C-alpha cells in the first residue's frame, strides 16, 4: 500500500475512530474494542510498516515490539511516550520519508 493510499485511508478513518476508548464503529453499529497492543499493530500496519521498520524508526527491539503488540509485555514509560506520539501522528512526516526512501532504494519506481 502506498503512502498516499495509507494517508487517504487514515483520513477517512478519522470520521469513525474514537481514540480515547480504542472503539471502532460509526455509533450505529456494534463496537469492537481493541487492546493497546492490537491498536499499536493496527496503526503500524496502517502505515505500511513492518516490525523491522519500527525498530529502525524508533530504536525499539523487534522482539519487544512483538510482545507489546501481543499484549505479552507492558511497554516501558519511554516506549509509551514514543507510541503516544506515533499514534498522534507526530512522526507521520518522518515515516512518509522513510517509506518513500525504502521503496526508492528497492527500485520499485515508487514516486510521489
Tens digit of pLDDT at every position of the chain (112 positions): 555 555 555 554 443 344 434 444 444 444 468 888 999 999 999 999 999 999 999 999 999 999 999 999 999 999 999 999 998 889 999 999 998 888 786 655 444 4
pLDDT on residue 1: 52
Residue 90, all three cell numbers: 507526530
pLDDT on residue 7: 56
Nearest to 91, CA basis, from 50, 65, 62, 54: 54
pLDDT on residue 5: 56
Total of domains in the chain: 1
Domain of residue 38, CATH code: 1.10.260.40
For the whole model, what pTM was predicted? 0.64
pLDDT on residue 9: 54
For residue 72, the enclosing domain spans 3-105
DSSP H helical ranges for the chain:
3-13, 36-46, 51-58, 62-69, 77-88, 92-105
CA separation for the pair 84, 74 (Å, rounded): 14
Q: Is residue 41 part of a domain?
A: yes
DSSP label at 6?
A: H
DSSP label at 31?
A: P
pLDDT on residue 6: 54
Q: Is residue 111 part of a domain?
A: no
pLDDT on residue 104: 80
Q: Is residue 65 part of a domain?
A: yes
Q: Distance from first CA to last CA of the chain, Å, rounded?
A: 13
pLDDT on residue 32: 67
Amino acid at each position: 500500500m502506498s503512502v498516499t493510499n495509507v494517508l487517504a485511508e487514515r483520513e477517512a478513518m478519522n470520521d469513525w475512530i474514537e481514540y480515547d476508548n480504542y472503539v471502532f464503529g460509526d455509533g450505529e453499529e456494534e463496537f469492537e474494542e481493541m487492546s493497546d497492543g492490537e491498536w499499536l499493530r493496527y496503526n503500524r500496519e496502517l502505515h505500511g510498516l513492518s516490525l523491522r521498520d519500527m525498530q529502525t524508526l524508533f530504536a525499539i527491539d523487534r522482539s519487544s515490539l512483538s510482545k507489546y503488540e501481543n499484549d505479552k509485555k507492558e511497554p516501558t514509560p519511554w516506549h509509551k511516550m514514543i507510541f503516544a506520539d506515533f499514534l498522534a501522528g507526530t512522526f507521520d512526516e518522518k515515516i512518509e520519508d522513510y517509506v518513500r526512501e525504502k521503496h526508492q532504494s528497492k527500485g520499485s519506481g515508487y514516486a510521489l
